[in-house]
Chain A
């Protein structure tokens, strides 16, 4: 059968065709198209000199902040920093922005958090304090390139430990090792790399919120670039997180009102970041933050490789995906008109209305609960019960309503106090794990 569906053709017809990149980043002796003065050093949309290019990247960063007007003067902002190119790029722009003259000056106070995730990489020996300290020392050196900011150290395994980064000594890391062992043991009880990575992403956000709160910061800057958004958009869709993906790819993630996550360089791509770093000769740990254990097959890793592949030859597709991120909304419209077809939605709504209201949040990821009227989740549960009963079709015919009730009850998790408080994506983290493992997160 022809694989082309009618959904393939918009009003633009085949304008949707995937466009292969024309590789023309090379610069022939050209004059900067912007200032028509200096010799160009880079060709992004057009040939630009160093000054104009740096201005262009900085403008993207500052425009996102000024357009949103979310950060009031004198706010305290926490930057999530691990020393990679995007982190250093944004820090450099803030560093320079704070020194500018009156009307251009950035008006917030910045502190920096370094979250130690060394333990997550399975190849690493967490007890090798020397190696671990070298890493932190490297981060400290990178930070020395800038004005003195208050820098803090924490571990992914314990959000309560927040130490001044400068004072960290080799032996201080003994303080987190026990927590790291505990975290690793917990991760081991989750059934797949996909689940583990998803869980870590959630606790990282949770830790950032907690630490920001402790440090009296109302905002956290995340250093996601265009390609990070594209990857997260698609992998979160595949993880079943469609209802909350907008929070994870938008400029402002305000699912928790008191601590908002901002992504001020989401419109900057990796070529721009790397060129910025190169032109300013900045020291970094690496180009892009590597995900731990990339050799393992997981939804996130396979998506990441898929997008990296597109970036190689179809980079405009990556920007298209990232642009799509700005068209989706995290909040539900007041009138739910999504699933009007079928009686199932009304039934599901009736049974769930008493249990949960529409604004109830997921205990883990803090997004809205999304299972109440899902016909798709119902279809999965129905499938499970009908498989169990499939030996006797007469029985199914006679007991259809009972099977339907059981399936609906499963979707709404009437029997499981824990699952009731989790969105579909977070429930997926615990696929195949025992209820005890699930119960632990509620303690």
Chain B
């Protein structure tokens, strides 16, 4: 029998992947919560009096985040007002079920919940998008729309920051993925615990940055938290899938590899000539973007014009497509007379 490392006399029930220490259930809860508290205070993620929106998907990460933030807020008197912000992508059989979980969180934790749907924001549900474009590029639409939807929701709720459930595994995986696709700009950014897209934008924070996915699952399990655990029914992203399986293989060899990759991602230096994106306000929709018009607006225009491939490929290709269509329109107009 392995005893708890904390010398409480209890039997250990898990071995912590980050350090290899074995802990009993109660000590695990304490250590898990204290670490997140440490991450929050040392990273200065919140200020007293802040209104914080949790990007709530109903999945294990955001469910644990909501539970722990509520608990720490009370234990350490952060003086935060915590609300839940959910995005309804309009995916039948996936999001409608997970939203039920979020509603249960709302009731259990007594937090206000705001649900924003793609349908009300963009006039398109993901079901409808997929019916037009098929299942090859739908994750692009979903990702781009969600990113902006969270910004919009945060603005509506007038919050000071949005806390997302990204855990250590997610961040390590994103580091690998950005290397696989040669995206040095995102490689630089993805390990940051707090991101401001620009000075006016509402910051995003990742209180679970140093928390292993395995521990999040264990915590939710032992605390009997209700979460939704089905993967999105639409095709998963090939890069994510590859990067994830590779990371799991590495983790089996050396569990600390996740922290090592995050450390590496933070330490890596870039040549001066790598262009940094200039973040600005999209002139069409008014939200933060690094290009004009923003990605969400381009994708939306493509959908509405019946050119759903617009914005999926290279920018120039999209511009050619628009020019082509405009040209055809002029022709048609001319021929009408």
B182 near A328 with CB under 8 A, answer: no
Contact flags B172-205 to A (C-beta < 8 A → 1, else 0): 0011111111111111011011100000000000
Chain A residues near B306 (CB-CB < 8 A)? none
A13 near B253 with CB under 8 A, answer: no
Chain A residues near B253 (CB-CB < 8 A)? 192, 194, 297-299, 302
Tell me, rounded to whole Å, the shortest Cβ–Cβ distance linking A299 to chain B. 6
A2 near B232 with CB under 8 A, answer: yes
CB of B38 closer than 8 Å to a CB of A: yes
Complex-state Cα separation, A289 to B192, whole angstroms:
38
Complex-state Cα separation, A9 to B23, whole angstroms:
39
CB of B146 closer than 8 Å to a CB of A: yes
Chain B residues near A31 (CB-CB < 8 A)? none
**Chain B residues in the interface with A (C-beta under 8 A):** 4-8, 16, 18-19, 21, 23, 26-28, 30-31, 34-35, 38-39, 42-44, 57-62, 89, 98, 136-137, 139-140, 142-144, 146-147, 165-166, 170, 174-187, 189-190, 192-194, 210, 228, 231-232, 236-240, 242, 244, 246, 249-250, 252-254, 256-257, 259-272, 274, 277, 290-291, 295, 298-299, 311-315
B266 near A339 with CB under 8 A, answer: yes
**Which secondary structure characterizes the binding site on chain B?**
helix
Tell me, rounded to whole Å, the shortest Cβ–Cβ distance linking B123 to chain A. 19
Chain B residues near A380 (CB-CB < 8 A)? 18-19, 210, 256, 259
Chain A residues near B242 (CB-CB < 8 A)? 18, 310
CB of A388 closer than 8 Å to a CB of B: yes
Chain A residues near B26 (CB-CB < 8 A)? 390-391
CB of A171 closer than 8 Å to a CB of B: no
Complex-state Cα separation, A329 to B192, whole angstroms:
19
A8 near B5 with CB under 8 A, answer: no
8 A-B pairs, CB-CB below 8 angstroms?
Answer: A14-B139, A16-B239, A242-B267, A245-B268, A333-B272, A377-B263, A379-B35, A390-B6
A242 near B266 with CB under 8 A, answer: yes
B39 near A379 with CB under 8 A, answer: yes
Complex-state Cα separation, A379 to B180, whole angstroms:
27
Tell me, rounded to whole Å, the shortest Cβ–Cβ distance linking A198 to chain B. 11
Complex-state Cα separation, A418 to B312, whole angstroms:
52
B176 near A3 with CB under 8 A, answer: no
Complex-state Cα separation, A243 to B260, whole angstroms:
11
Interface 9-mer from A149-157, A180-188, A280-288, A316-324: A316-324
Q: Which of the listed residues B4, B170, B269 has the most CB atoms from chain A within 10 Å of its own CB?
A: B269
Tell me, rounded to whole Å, the shortest Cβ–Cβ distance linking A19 to chain B. 10
* B254 partner, pick from A194, A321, A393, beta carbons under 8 A: A194
Tell me, rounded to whole Å, the shortest Cβ–Cβ distance linking A191 to chain B. 10
Tell me, rounded to whole Å, the shortest Cβ–Cβ distance linking B13 to chain A. 13
Complex-state Cα separation, A338 to B242, whole angstroms:
29
A376 near B60 with CB under 8 A, answer: no
B30 near A15 with CB under 8 A, answer: no
A11 near B137 with CB under 8 A, answer: no
Q: Which of the listed residues B7, B165, B231, B264 has the most CB atoms from chain A within 10 Å of its own CB?
A: B264
Q: Which of the listed residues B30, B146, B267, B290 has the most CB atoms from chain A within 10 Å of its own CB?
A: B267
B269 near A246 with CB under 8 A, answer: yes
B266 near A387 with CB under 8 A, answer: no
Q: Which of the listed residues A5, A236, A393 has the most CB atoms from chain B within 10 Å of its own CB?
A: A5
A391 near B27 with CB under 8 A, answer: yes
B143 near A6 with CB under 8 A, answer: yes
Contact flags A341-359 to B (C-beta < 8 A → 1, else 0): 1111000000000000000
Chain B residues near A12 (CB-CB < 8 A)? 313-315
A243 near B140 with CB under 8 A, answer: no
Complex-state Cα separation, A73 to B290, whole angstroms:
47
B269 near A393 with CB under 8 A, answer: no
Chain B residues near A424 (CB-CB < 8 A)? 260, 263
Chain A residues near B236 (CB-CB < 8 A)? 3
Chain A residues near B299 (CB-CB < 8 A)? 13
Chain A: CB-nearest residue to B60: A1
* B250 partner, pick from A15, A238, A331, A338, beta carbons under 8 A: A238
B237 near A4 with CB under 8 A, answer: yes
CB of A384 closer than 8 Å to a CB of B: yes
Q: A390-B31, A391-B7 are in contact. Are A7 and B178 (CB under 8 A)?
A: yes
* B190 partner, pick from A7, A238, A404, beta carbons under 8 A: A7
**8 additional contacts, CB 8 Å, given A4-B237, A10-B185, A310-B180?**
A3-B244, A6-B146, A10-B183, A238-B261, A245-B268, A302-B253, A387-B16, A431-B256
B240 near A8 with CB under 8 A, answer: yes
CB of A360 closer than 8 Å to a CB of B: no
Chain B residues near A377 (CB-CB < 8 A)? 259, 263
Chain B: CB-nearest residue to A241: B264
B277 near A320 with CB under 8 A, answer: no
* A237 partner, pick from B21, B39, B175, B259, beta carbons under 8 A: B175
Tell me, rounded to whole Å, the shortest Cβ–Cβ distance linking A172 to chain B. 38
Tell me, rounded to whole Å, the shortest Cβ–Cβ distance linking B158 to chain A. 21
